[in-house]
Amino acid sequence: MLNNLLKRILPGSAGTPAPGTAGTPEKATPVTAELLRDGKLEATAIAAAAAPGPAAITAAGTTPAAAALAIAAGLTNDRTSVPALVGLLARDGLVGRAAGWALGRIGAEAEILAAIASGGLDVRENGYHALAVLAAAGKASPALASALSERVQAEIARAKSGGTGLGEHACRVLAVLGAKETTELVGEVIANDRFCDRFELQRLLKAIADKGRDSETIAALTAPWTTVFADHLAGDPAAEAEAKATAKAQESAKSAATPGKAAAPVAKATSPASKPGAKGPGLSWSMGPATVKPPAAGAPAPQSPAVPPDGADLAAGGVAAEDALPDGEAAPAGPGAKPVDWAAFAASPEHAALKPAEKQLATQLGQLLEKLATQQIRAHLGDLAGQEFAALLLQVLPQALPPQYAQAALSPQALNGYQALMKFLVRTGATSAGDELVQAVKQVREMMRQQLRKAGVLNGPDYSDPDDAPKVQA
């Protein structure tokens, strides 16, 4: 999110010619045209291609042909193409990612590290991806862990000086290596870079604790290249037409067999490297509440969601306080962020405007959200970005609740309570994100409304925004 904005204003971003490529043609040459079909990668031709060499890669410019040639270079272990591939690391999107993948496959560790040390945002991001590919393939030298530790410190220093740090990227490579210093360095990034990807860093900590290495990333990066770049492959027209016809026939048969029954929406799984601007190696959050299903079609709207009695353990089976932060360690906070003053919230006009059931949910679930943010993300609620708070609501909160309360966590009443709480934080200056947190609740509200619409639910819960209600004239 932040990276996407910065990439468009910082040197080395998309649209800036890479060294040695100024004035290169932007149209695929006849030599490379056979590697593409309709602008997408032709798998059979690429797999059969010979080592392309640096001249062909440079001549391809920033077109998809450059990505095709980069992949061919990686498949043929073409070390002569390494300088040209390093030049492509400055490219955003498929070309830069393909160049990084090829450099990792070739094992160009020294060249990648040198590029990262002197490169801009895209070079560093693609460079760390290259090192992750290299490490996953078992081609890392014994000195790589030490070099990455230095890179983590450099990324932290960059973040402290107001730049964009990519410490989580370097930590991911360390996690792939299974380096013993990974846990300590992850903690340093979380504590010193308030814009770091906390969800990804927490995932790395769990991976190290569970298996000693980031096996999820290893599996993603060692998959066949056609799987890694599946979203960019040209399909077989005949096969695609047949698949669509089969799917349509199956859907028609299913509808005929179960008339009137609407299928529950399924959270869409995101493929590796599919999320625009994602800091991960290809691992991203699905923005759908996978653990909370909308009511069945035709079900009446619940008038009051089930809420736990006072004193009930909302997080039963979820996170335990002793598993979150070391003894005596508080969540790092950004400028303006601080713990929620629950007594002040209870006396606030935002709280007073809520209905009784909404007040109870706002307090109980709001306190659980604060606990989860501190334990899982190591930040106060007010220190979260809008997308982080949306992910906390959709992914983390429902899983932390006992099953009988999970439905209530994303009910209209609960969302009204969250929205009032976020407005309170904005008004009192207890958040560094401003109105972004309020907008995150509105985004979740709209997503729930869309899910109900797609499921064909009639007379379901009312997810209308209270801010949109007509004002009562005095």
Task: Please name the residue that has the structure tokens 């027209």.
Answer: 237
The pLDDT assigned to 13 comes to 37
Residues 6+ apart with CB under 8 A from 129: 97, 100, 101, 104, 169, 281
Say how far apart CA 320 and CA 445 lie, in whole Å. 28
pLDDT at residue 144 tops 50: yes
Say how far apart CA 430 and CA 1 lie, in whole Å. 22
Residue 321 or residue 56, greater confidence = 56
pLDDT at residue 32 tops 80: no
Q: Do residues 433 and 384 make contact, with C-beta atoms less than 8 angstroms apart?
A: yes
Strongest mean pLDDT among 118-127, 289-298, 430-439? 118-127
pLDDT tens by residue, 363-392: 888 898 888 888 777 788 888 888 888 888
The pLDDT assigned to 253 comes to 56
Say how far apart CA 417 and CA 441 lie, in whole Å. 10
Strongest mean pLDDT among 32-36, 314-318, 356-360, 451-455? 356-360
The domains found in the chain, sorted by start residue, are 2-227 (1.25.10), 321-467 (no CATH)
Residue 384: what residue type? L
Say how far apart CA 3 and CA 401 lie, in whole Å. 32
pLDDT tens by residue, 226-274: 999 999 998 766 555 555 666 666 566 555 544 443 333 333 333 333 3
Q: C-alpha angle with apex 287: 283 to 292, nearest 5 degrees?
A: 120
pLDDT at residue 57 tops 90: yes
pLDDT tens by residue, 296-320: 444 444 444 444 444 344 433 333 3
* Weakest-pLDDT range from 37-46, 69-78, 104-113, 261-270: 261-270
Say how far apart CA 389 and CA 182 lie, in whole Å. 26
The pLDDT assigned to 310 comes to 42
Model confidence band, residue 83 (pLDDT cutoffs 50, 70, 90): very high
